[in-house]
Chains A and B, each alone.
Chain A
Amino acid sequence: MLIANGIEDEDKWLAEGIAGIQHSAFYLHRALDSNNLREALKYSAQLLSELRTSRLSPHKYYELYMRAFDELRRLEMFFKDENRHGCPVVDLYELVQHAGNILPRLYLLCTVGSIYIKSKETPAKDVLKDLVEMCRGVQHPIRGLFLRSYLAQISRDKLPDIASDYEGEGDTFMDAVEFVLQNFAEMNKLWVRMQHQGSLREKEKLDKERNELRDLVGKNLHVLSQIEGVDLDIYRDTVLPKVLEQVVNCKDELAQYYLMDCIIQVFPDEYHLQTLETLLGAFPQLQSAVDIKTVLSRLMERLSNYAASSPEVLPDFLQVEAFTKLSNAIGKVIEAQVDMPIVGAITLYVSLLTFTLHVHPDRLDYVDQVLGACVKKLSGKAKLQDSRATKQVVALLSTPLEKYNNIVTALTLSNYPRVMDHLDAATNKVMAIVIIQSIMKNNTCVSTSDKVEVLFELIKGLIKDMDGTSTDELDEEDFKEEQNSVARLMHMLYNDDPEEMLNIMNTVWKYIMAGGSKRLPFTVPPLVFSALKLVRRLHGQDGDVAGEEVPATPKKIFQLLNQIIEALSVVPAPELALRLYLQCAEAANDCDLEPVTYEFFTQAFVLYEEEVADSKAQVTAIHLIIGTLQRMNVFGVENRDTLTHKATGYSAKLLKKPDQCRAVYACSHLFWVDDQDGIKDGERVLLCLKRSLRIANAAQQMVNVTRGSSGPVTLFVEILNKYLYFFEKGSPQITTAAIQGLIELIKTEMQSDSSTSNPASDAFFASTLRYIQFQKQKGGAMGEKYDPIKL
């Protein structure tokens, strides 16, 4: 209620003030129109008296001030034209000092002073000095600040700068500098004094008001930066020391924070670089409550951008030892501010790291140093809990990755893994994913087992359960994504040299084998295929040097592969393992290693027998076994017989009859390989086909019995097609009579009363007959072959 009243009252007072100004302005204008100097002075003083109020907040006072300002411009034009009022400016300067109250008196004096300087009847510096001193008469903070702001505004274009109109005998830019510095110092004092005005309860309101006025003070620094005469030397020797003196001595945290930041933003980066020591030296002298880290961060940001946009100044950075100075300054600040929360310290390090990467990207020792300082700060404390702090640490670790685009560089930073150790498990994983993404995006190849070791240490959060966590807690989708990332990563680990590649694979295996049963199904396959690729490479090379003990041979790799695939039994993942064993068998076959190949087939069969229970999975598995076995050429007769016998046996034992039928006729291909030296055992082919036919018959009968109708003739048509296949290959055991018989059988089945028409099998049979017709019409040897078959 009170506050609302307060605001209402302020609005009322402002309105009153404005009305007062308007009232006086009416008479002032009349006076100006009739060139009446006396009246003009009288009414302008009256007008300016409205600014004597202490009731308004800065925001409202500004509104009042602006009205007065407009009127003073009119007045100034009047003063300037001596013809209108007949009073020489020297006398005018004297005359206005007769005004009754000090505030109007000084506004008028400044206004006349402006004209006085313009007239050049006296050196600018004399007038300026006079004005800046006289303004001391107003010690009320708000009134004084606006008055001095007025002085600054009107003197702006009349400062004796190099090549300005006002430079002359005894009038140099140093005088301008002196003037502005003095005005600045006085304004700062007034501004700081505001904080003692209110009670403690009103502190928040007071701070807000103070912030509204800060640009009035800061403007002076801006003016200083614009003075042409102020070069690096003047800045370093005069301007900066004087400004810093003000800042430090005022002992006010609001002012110190704003002004330090102002200095940094307003003056050129080149100056900051050259005065770095002085500037940084001020920080420890500031009040402890000042948010130094933000100011420091902004300084480093500016310097980083400076380096980035002007590469030619990079040697200067080295020359002034910018990195060392900044690093020391940060260290001192962190040490001094014991209560600084950890996020503050890390943010500082992130800024310093960004700076280092921009300015000294080749100095990996600097980068490592920054990380090391961070490790020191994090040591001795529990793992980070504060989410903002962890975000900053992730930023700290991600920045070098983005800069170097090459994980290998980051891997050489000894402190990098140490920083990661201080992250909690979840953030560790986040960082690990960032690292993997960086590698994938940049297509980086990690080429030695040492580097792989360092890398896997960094991403260990993904590879195994860290203390205190377990994979059960994780969302399944997230877990899959994580592990697939690791799988993808493995394709980036590569070396042309087989020995080193084997070392890499051993290192990878060492890490992933500790991953636990949930991770192995994701991580084992890529490793297996890496190994198979290596086998192929070795096999493709010229033969081994006789007698030399080479560490990397296909045999050794197959031994490793055996170990790796075996580990899947703990998951358990028998179907995957079976597929991988078959892949290895094929590779071993290509290397002419019969015992190794046989061993892999054995493992596959054992898994089939003991672990693959699901009937659908069995069908797929047996087809994979048959398909692989069909391609094997390394086996002697005995081994081959054993394996084919097993395959056909299991085929016939599948649960569903149609599956049995199909698997058995697939086995027929085991006995016929189209190669030059391939087996071509027509007898056993026929045995298979006949067996599958019997099974098809049995299947038909079963359907008859259980459903009262005959099933689709599809199986028979499939078998017919197989007959045609071997017939064309020239197997003598496949006769045209047999084919003819099969065709008739199918036709009979299809036409029988109990048959249900099945469009798919009808179409299949039709296209088969069409094919036969096509072959017959081919003419030549094929046509002759097919001739006996009648459709």
Chain B
Amino acid sequence: MVLVLALGDLHIPHRAADLPPKFKSMLVPGKIQHVICTGNLCVKEVHDYLKTVCPDLHIALGEYDEETRYPETKTLTIGQFKLGVGHGHQVIPWGDLDSLAMLQRQLDVDILVTGHTHQFTAYKHEAGVVINPGSATGSYSSINYDVNPSFVLMDIDGLRVVVYVYELIDGEVKVDKIDFKKTTASST
């Protein structure tokens, strides 16, 4: 059982002051094995904070990030799954599933994590799963009017991944989950 935290679009301090306290108290150091971040942190303090949650941190470059050396896309293998992350502003139309599917095929990954729209989504399609963890701070988005703070926790176990989404709605943390199963093991 491997826990992977996926979050992004915090936009601290441009659009938000900090993560919601209820989220912060949940993100306890030492419980999570990997962190995938879709970008737009935007400042070093947020990077340092995420590092304390888990040292294995993978960040993709968002268009407002202070640190310009993050990669545009990144792929990594966790257990039987190949994961890819990108911010998503490069994929036009923004939020379009078919265009994201193309990126997924291009990166040749089972799970693609992107952001930019500040809207949680998790789709299964031919190539695999496309996940958008939304905005962890619930910050303003020109694309999405109704933004609630959200993040995703993936539990990878063999050929199965359970995607938990945590959303802060009216001051309460609500959890939902979606199951995905790979049909074949990935080829080496």
A483 and chain B: residue at smallest CB distance: B13
Interfacial chain A residues near B13, Cβ < 8 Å: 484, 487-488, 491, 526
* Most chain A CB within a 10 A radius of its CB, from B64, B99, B105: B105
Partner of B14, one of A489, A529, A721: A529
Any B CB within 8 A of the CB of A511: no
Q: Give chain B nearest CB distance to A730 CB in angstroms.
A: 13
Alpha-carbon distance between A444 and B37 when the two chains are bound, in angstroms: 30
A763 to B99 alpha-carbon distance, docked (Å) = 17
With contacts A579-B64, A764-B108 taken as known, whether A771 is within 8 angstroms of B17 at the C-beta atoms is no
Partner among B17, B94, B143 whose Cβ is within 8 Å of the Cβ of A440: B17
Interface centre among B18, B102, B108 (most CB of A within 10 A): B102
Least distance between B35 CB and chain A CB atoms (Å): 22
Residues of B within 8 A of A230 (CB): none
For A488, give its contact among B17, B89, B94 (CB under 8 Å).
B17
A: contact size bracket = 35 or more
Bound form: Cα–Cα A481–B106 in Å: 39
Task: Chain A residues near B143: list those with CB within 8 A.
Answer: 586, 631
B4 to chain A, nearest CB (A): 22
A367 within 8 Å of B by Cβ? no
In the complex, the answer to whether A721 meets B102 with C-beta atoms within 8 Å is yes
User: Within 8 Å CB of B139, what residues of A?
Assistant: 529
Whether the pair B43, A624 counts as a contact (CB closer than 8 A) is: no
Q: A484-B45, A631-B94, A669-B92 are in contact. Are A624 and B63 (CB under 8 A)?
A: yes
Cα–Cα, bound, A722→B96 (Å): 13
State A763–B15 Cα separation when bound (angstroms). Answer: 39
Q: A631-B143, A728-B98 are in contact. Are A492 and B105 (CB under 8 A)?
A: no
User: C-beta contact mask, A479-510 vs B, less than 8 Å → 1, else 0?
Assistant: 01100100111011000000000000000000
Across the interface, which residues of B come within 8 angstroms of A481, CB to CB?
45
Pair B127/A767 contact, Cβ less than 8 Å: yes
Q: Is B126 an interface residue (CB 8 A)?
A: yes
Hey, which chain B residues are within 8 Å of A681, CB to CB? none
1/0 contact trace for B1-20 toward A, CB 8 Å?
Answer: 00000000000111111100
Contact of B105 with A487 in the complex, beta carbons under 8 Å: no
Query: Is the CB–CB distance between B90 and A529 below 8 Å?
Result: no
Instruction: Collect the chain B residues with CB atoms within 8 Å of residue A627's CB.
Output: 89, 92-94
Q: Which residue of B lies closest to A527 (CB)?
A: B14
Contact, CB under 8 Å: B126 / A771: yes
- When distances are taken between beta carbons in the complex, the residues of chain B under 8 Å from A674 are 93, 96
Please determine whether A763 and B108 come into contact, CB atoms closer than 8 angstroms.
Answer: yes
The answer to the question of B25 belonging to the interface, with a C-beta cut-off of 8 Å to chain A, is no
Q: Which residues of B contact A489 (CB under 8 A)?
A: 17
* Cβ contact within 8 Å between A532 and B93: no
Q: Mark B137-178, 1 if CB is under 8 A from A, else 0.
A: 001101101000000000000000000000000000000000
Residue contact B63 to A631, C-beta cutoff 8 Å: no
On whether the beta carbons of A771 and B45 are closer than 8 Å, the reply is no
What CA separation (Å) do A521 and B27 show in the bound complex? 30
Least CB distance, B94 to chain A, in whole angstroms:
5
Q: A484-B43, A488-B18, A526-B14 are in contact. Are A533 and B140 (CB under 8 A)?
A: yes
Partner of A586, one of B14, B63, B127, B142: B142
Complex Cα distance A294/B126, Å? 78
Say yes or no for A525: interface residue by CB 8 A criterion.
yes
- Bound complex: CA A728 to CA B102 (Å): 13
Residues from chain A with Cβ under 8 Å of B15 in the complex: 491, 525-526, 529
Q: Is A74 an interface residue (CB 8 A)?
A: no
Interface pair A623/B108, CB less than 8 Å apart? no
Q: Mark A733-764, 1 if CB is under 8 A from B, else 0.
A: 00000000000000000000000000010011
Please give me the residue from chain A that is nearest to B45 by CB atom: A484
Closest approach, in angstroms, between the C-beta of A477 and any C-beta of chain B? 9
A669 near B43 with CB under 8 A, answer no
Q: How far apart are the CA atoms of A770 and B126 in the complex, in Å?
A: 9
- Min Cβ gap A681→B in Å is 15
A350 part of interface (Cβ distance < 8 Å): no
CB contacts (< 8 Å) of B12 on chain A: these are 488
A residues 701-743 with Cβ under 8 Å of B?
A: 714, 717-718, 721-722, 725, 728
Return the chain A residue nearest B116 by Cβ: A627
> How far, in Å, is B61 (CB) from chain A's closest CB?
9
* Chain B positions within 8 Å of A488 at CB level: 12-13, 17-18
Q: Is the CB of B89 within 8 A of A623?
A: yes
Whether B105 pairs with A480 at a CB distance below 8 angstroms is no
Please give me the residue from chain A that is nearest to B61 by CB atom.
Answer: A620
Is B63 a contact of A532 with CB atoms below 8 Å? Answer: no
* A725 with B102, Cβ < 8 A, contacts A480-B43, A491-B17 known: yes
A587 interfacial contact with B, CB 8 Å: yes
Residues on A with C-beta less than 8 A from B105 are 721, 764, 767-768, 771
Q: How far is the CA of A714 from the CA of B96 in the complex (A)?
A: 21
B70-119 contacts to A (CB < 8 Å): 89-90, 92-94, 96, 98-99, 101-102, 105-106, 108
In the complex, residue of chain B having the shortest beta-carbon distance to the beta carbon of A662: B90
In the bound complex, CA of A488 to CA of B13 (Å)? 5
Residues of A within 8 A of B94 (CB): 627, 630-631
Among residues of A, the one whose C-beta sits closest to the C-beta of B42 is A525
Bound Cα distance A101, B19 (Å): 84
User: How far apart are the CA atoms of A536 and B16 in the complex, in Å?
Assistant: 16
Give the most central of B92, B98, B102: most A CB within 10 Å.
B92
Task: Say how far B91's CB is from chain A's closest CB, in angstroms.
Answer: 9
> Please, how many angstroms separate the alpha-carbon atoms of A98 and B30 in the complex?
84
Is B14 a contact of A624 with CB atoms below 8 Å?
no
In the complex the two chains form, is A774's CB within 8 Å of B126's CB?
Answer: yes
Find chain B residues with CB under 8 A from A586 CB: 142-143
- Alpha-carbon distance A149/B112, docked complex (angstroms): 86
A764 lies within 8 A of B106 (CB): yes
Contact B106 A440 (CB under 8 A): no
B63 contacts A718, C-beta separation under 8 Å:
no
A782 CB → nearest B CB, Å: 11
- Min CB distance B169 to A, Å, is 19
Nearest-Cβ distance from residue A749 to partner chain B, whole angstroms = 17
Closest to A626 in B: B92
Which of chain B's residues 4-59 have a Cβ closer than 8 Å to chain A? 12-18, 43-45
Question: CB-nearest residue of chain B relative to A621?
Answer: B63
- A93 to B180: give the CA distance in the assembly, Å: 103
A221 close to chain B: CB less than 8 A? no
In-complex Cβ contact of B92 among A491, A630, A714, A774 (8 A): A630
Give the residues in chain B near A533, CB-CB below 8 Å: 140
Complex interface bits, A622-637 against B, C-beta within 8 A gives 1, otherwise 0? 0110111011000000
In the complex, whether A14 has a CB less than 8 A from a CB of chain B is: no
Kindly report which residue of chain A lies nearest to residue B90, judged by CB atoms: A623
Shortest distance between the CB of A138 and any CB in chain B (Å): 70
How long is the Cα–Cα vector from A684 to B179 in the complex, in angstroms?
41
A159 within 8 A of B: no
With a CB–CB cut-off of 8 A, which chain B residues contact A644? none
A666 within 8 A of B: yes
Which A residues touch B127, using CB under 8 A?
767, 770-771
Are B99's CB and A725's CB within 8 A?
A: yes
Per the bound structure, the CA–CA distance linking A728 and B125 in Å amounts to 15
A525: B residues at CB distance < 8 A: 14-15, 64
Q: How far is the CA of A30 from the CA of B100 in the complex (A)?
A: 108
User: Which chain A positions have C-beta within 8 A of B93?
Assistant: 627, 630-631, 669, 673-674
16 new A-B pairs (CB below 8 Å) besides A484-B13, A484-B45, A630-B94?
Answer: A487-B13, A487-B14, A488-B12, A526-B13, A627-B92, A628-B142, A669-B93, A674-B93, A722-B102, A725-B98, A725-B99, A728-B98, A763-B108, A770-B126, A771-B101, A775-B126
Please name 11 pairs of A and B residues whose Cβ atoms are closer than 8 Å in the assembled complex, sorted by A: A491-B13, A492-B17, A536-B140, A536-B145, A620-B90, A623-B89, A623-B92, A666-B92, A721-B105, A770-B126, A771-B126
Chain A residues near B (Cβ < 8 Å): 440, 480-481, 484, 487-489, 491-492, 525-526, 529, 532-533, 536, 579, 583, 586-587, 620, 623-624, 626-628, 630-631, 666, 669, 673-674, 714, 717-718, 721-722, 725, 728, 760, 763-764, 767-768, 770-771, 774-775
Q: 6 tightest CB-CB pairs across the interface, nearest first? A: A487-B13, A586-B142, A525-B14, A767-B105, A763-B108, A488-B17
